[in-house]
Amino acid sequence: WRGKLAQSYARSNQFEKAIHLYETLPNQAYKLAFLYFDSGQYNKALRLLNALKVSGNKSTDIAWLKFWSLYFTKQYQTALTFLNTLPDENDKNLKKKIIYWQAVTWEKLGNQKKSRELYNIVSVSNTPDYYAYLAQHKLHESTFIPDSIVKTDFLLKPTQVEFKTDRLPDKTAQSVFDYLNSRLLGTSTDESELTIDDFSDRGQKLYFNGSYNYLAALGTIFLKTRPPTFTEQAYFWAYPLAYKEWVYFYAGIYGVDPFLSLAIMKQESGYRPAISSPALALGLMQIIPQTSRDLANELKIDYFHHEDLKLAPLNIQMGTFYLKKRLGEYGPHLPYIIASYNAGPLAVNRWKAQGDHMQPDEFVEQIPFDETQNYVKKVLTNYWTYLLLYTK
């Protein structure tokens, strides 16, 4: 029971009480070190971490906690030496993370040449990538997407708001997806020549009939397999202007960037309007029952029922209004806004209290929930990609 009480104290920012309890419990060195770290007592965290063996299930967590403790106490050379010993375990994303933070640490040490050399390594990516975007920002480069992508007219910018009611039946949309998917992966028995017009015509049919989830799935497959002649379409298919009439409408009313709404929609539901989660989050922007009731009251929506969130316009309205509330609370700080959409504002306020001195990329790495940290990275990647595709 003392362990649970200590966790409760920690979640409510009562760090001294939590630390006192953990000090009385056996085999709690890692949790105690994490609490010291979380409360900004980095040197105390280091003393415990140095005594821990980096092995077992927690080995990666312990190693990164030690790096960050060294980093935030400005022991950059020691932090860099330690970072060089971390195994990447053939994980491409972990390797990019290590190299990126090696570059940042070299920059802290004043070695611009070495840091730029490492940023250049990280910045190379065939598909949208969180660390590639960060590295390109450090190098003051705008995009890794080929220039021809942002110059194309294929679904580039909405010219006017058009409210459509006709939709491809799911069965028909599925058949279009299955056909293109089988041709792309080479599993089709159709041996006729496959042309770019064939893909473009069918892809646009999915788009203009509102089958955005199928279109995005195809675009993602295209980006992974990268057939050269279809690359331009692939980016726009993977990141469509889904439900743009409603997204732009409510973004304008509530003063929210429409591309942030789309970035969250892509991550939350993959553009599927009726999808439900185990936590009963529903619809395009995955709104849970309690939040939906609170939002319905604020928006003065009469006779609201949670199942109504399967309606795209209402779901987008509520999701965008929620983003407006967080924008009012956090200002233009995207990591806070995005993290709060996943973990709630109470958790973010707790992390923010400890991380206000951090740069945005540092703050994201300190989010203690793996799910939320990965969520923020993915939504930021979606957002930056939308900006590159549709604002040039």
Query: Cα-flanking dihedrals φ and ψ of residue 228, to 5°?
Result: -55, -40
Q: Is the dihedral angle over the CA atoms 301, 307, 311, 315 positive or is it negative?
A: positive
User: At a CB cut-off of 8 Å and minimum separation 6, what does 14 contact?
Assistant: none
**Residue 121: how many other CB atoms lie within 10 Å:** 15
- Two tokens at 213? 């989830």
The CA distance from 341 to 256, in Å, is 14
DSSP string, 10-73: HHTT-HHHHHHHHHTSTT-HHHHHHHHHHTT-HHHHHHHHHHS---STTHHHHHHHHHHHHHHT
Q: How many residues make up the chain in this entry?
A: 392
The closest of 20, 22, 46 to 32, measured between CA atoms, is 22
Query: What is residue 220's DSSP assignment?
Result: H
**Residues 139, 119 contacting (CB under 8 angstroms):** yes
Known catalytic residue: 268? yes
The closest of 72, 66, 104, 113 to 86, measured between CA atoms, is 66
Q: Choosing from 16, 23, 245, 268, which is the catalytic residue?
A: 268
Indicate left, alpha or beta for 110 from its phi (over 0: left) and psi (-120 to 50: alpha): left
Catalytic positions: 268
